[in-house]
Amino acid sequence: MSEDGIASQLLQESVGKIVLVKLKGRRSVKGKIKGFDKQMNIVITEATEVIEQQSNNNDNSEKGKGQEQETQVGDALIRGDNVITIAVL
Amino acid sequence: MSEDGIASQLLQESVGKIVLVKLKGRRSVKGKIKGFDKQMNIVITEATEVIEQQSNNNDNSEKGKGQEQETQVGDALIRGDNVITIAVL
Amino acid sequence: MSEDGIASQLLQESVGKIVLVKLKGRRSVKGKIKGFDKQMNIVITEATEVIEQQSNNNDNSEKGKGQEQETQVGDALIRGDNVITIAVL
Amino acid sequence: MSEDGIASQLLQESVGKIVLVKLKGRRSVKGKIKGFDKQMNIVITEATEVIEQQSNNNDNSEKGKGQEQETQVGDALIRGDNVITIAVL
Amino acid sequence: MSEDGIASQLLQESVGKIVLVKLKGRRSVKGKIKGFDKQMNIVITEATEVIEQQSNNNDNSEKGKGQEQETQVGDALIRGDNVITIAVL
Amino acid sequence: MSEDGIASQLLQESVGKIVLVKLKGRRSVKGKIKGFDKQMNIVITEATEVIEQQSNNNDNSEKGKGQEQETQVGDALIRGDNVITIAVL
Amino acid sequence: MSEDGIASQLLQESVGKIVLVKLKGRRSVKGKIKGFDKQMNIVITEATEVIEQQSNNNDNSEKGKGQEQETQVGDALIRGDNVITIAVL
């Protein structure tokens, strides 16, 4: 990411705010942005990791959104190349 | 993306307009383009994220387009390497 | 892509013509090439997006080509690294 | 690919010949090589695209090679990073 | 990773501490960070590798979190591009 | 690959010998190495391509190693980034 | 990998020792490290390749660790970008 580009601007403005980072592999991390770098590596404090289980519930044969498994993980580093979207909450 | 190339031109012309960004992993984001950078990272305002659930509905054994799960996410940053297509609505 | 290489030549000759672009994830986009850049990002006008649903139809247990879901998307930008093949129709 | 390396040599010697290009995602393209570039992007003329359907036929529960779906596509550009193997027929 | 960036800072502060490194492919490694480099390759001592088995248990058709298979592996090198998140425990 | 590194040395010593190249996507190619380049692109002569079918045979519900589908392909170019292992037979 | 970094140090200290290299796609290779290069390409002697079959055994619907298929492969080159972890045994 260029240091003065639109992505860096949004992340810079979000430092200290709560964000929801959606990651590849049906994972997401919610917490406060402490900082980020040019590869979009992000340090999140008070982080909660959410892993979406796929459900095959037989009634409507819907392989869809199943239960979510939440884990409190404290301070966490997210490697940038897993990021899909970052939403400012 | 080269700054004067065809992709940058389309994105530049689309700033302020509503776009549908299709992403890897059966996701898409709809909203107004605020800006973008050379890696095709995109900031979208008034964003709605859509995740397509796969359905296995037994009647015609069609593992196809299931229900869509929509989430309003406000301002969102999309990491460019997840983008498949960007359509100007 | 080198600007004078075989790939650029074919794309240059195809500007204004109808092409079928096959993408990763069982997607393809059909429409008129408006332009392209060195990363094989392509702008298509009058574009139709086709997503191939996988079918599990029980009679011959064939997990094969299911129905196709077509969507008219107007002007669209395709990110080059999703391209598998581009056929000039 | 280095321009004088073994890969370029084989491709150079194959120009005008019929080749079978196996691609990621159970696809292959057969046709005459018109040319190639350093990223192993390849232009094929009189091309036939073959997509291998996976079959789940219940008798021997063999999720294996199912029927093949062939499509005549004329002139086609193959993006190099999808190539697995190129065999000179 | 830039050597003075936020990611390097967190890793530097974590040397000698117990971390949980979540990897692509439902794997994770827990242990003490001995060191790391710019590609986020990490050396962990007293490492335990955890592989999450997917379960299809029929009662609630939940293709979710199954049992975990733990293996003591001693000193281990993790290749950086598999890392999703690193949590300091 | 660096030209004087361990990988180049093994490949150089293997020219003219029979090797088994395992590729992503349950494929492998067996044959005589004619040459290779810095991207680990490999030209194999008298090549046989082996595709491993996954089997779901119901008796022990073992989604494991099924039958192998062998094809004689003559001279073949393997694109380096598909290689997992190269064993000298 | 930087030549004097933590990853190179661990690999250098492991030359001549038995290691277990876990690879993408449920594969692993066990054997003696002969050498490595900056891309983490590794040459292993007296190598055994292990492919983990997924099992769907019906009793507890556990899509988990199935049987392992071992193959003695002698000297083998592992392409670095498939490596997940390297454990010194």
Supply the pLDDT for residue F36.
96
Of D29, D53, D82, the CB nearest to C65: D53
- β-strands B83-88, B62-78 pairing: unpaired
Q: Which amino acid is present at F66? A: G
Mean pLDDT of chain D: 87
Supply the pLDDT for residue G52.
81
Measured between CA atoms, how close is C10 to chain D, in angstroms? 7
From the CB of residue B10, how many other CB atoms can be counted at a distance below 10 Å?
19
- Does the distance separating the beta carbons of F65 and G66 come in below 8 Å? no
Check pLDDT > 60 for residue E11. yes
Check pLDDT > 50 for residue E58. no
Supply the pLDDT for residue E65.
55
Cα–Cα distances (Å) from F44 to D7, D15, E48, in that order, read 11, 18, 40
What's the gap between Cα B17 and its chain centre? 13
Supply the pLDDT for residue F37.
95
ipTM: 0.89
Measured between CA atoms, how close is G32 to chain E, in angstroms? 15
Q: Which residues contact D4 (CB under 8 A, 6 or more apart)?
A: none
**Which of 2.60.120.620, 2.130.10.10, 2.30.30.100, 3.40.190.10 is the CATH number of E6-54+66-88?**
2.30.30.100
What's the pLDDT tens digit per position in A10-28? 999 999 999 999 999 889 9
What's the pLDDT tens digit per position in D20-62? 999 998 899 999 999 999 999 999 999 999 988 765 544 433 3
From the CB of residue F30, how many other CB atoms can be counted at a distance below 10 Å?
17
**Which of 2.40.50.140, 2.30.30.100, 3.40.50.2300, 3.40.50.10490 is the CATH number of G6-55+64-88?**
2.30.30.100
User: A38 at the E interface (CB within 8 A)?
Assistant: yes
Q: How confident is the model at residue G2 (pLDDT cuts 50, 70, 90)?
A: confident
What's the pLDDT tens digit per position in F28-77? 999 999 999 999 999 999 999 998 876 554 443 334 456 788 999 999 99
Whether D21 and D36 have beta carbons less than 8 Å apart is answered as no
- Interface size between B and C, measured as CB pairs under 8 A: 95
- Assess if CATH 2.60.120.920 describes domain A6-88: no
Supply the pLDDT for residue F66.
66
Of D20, D64, D84, the CB nearest to F82: D84
What's the pLDDT tens digit per position in G19-70? 999 999 889 999 999 999 999 999 999 999 998 876 554 443 334 456 788 9
Q: How far does chain A reach from its first CA to its final CA, in angstroms?
A: 22
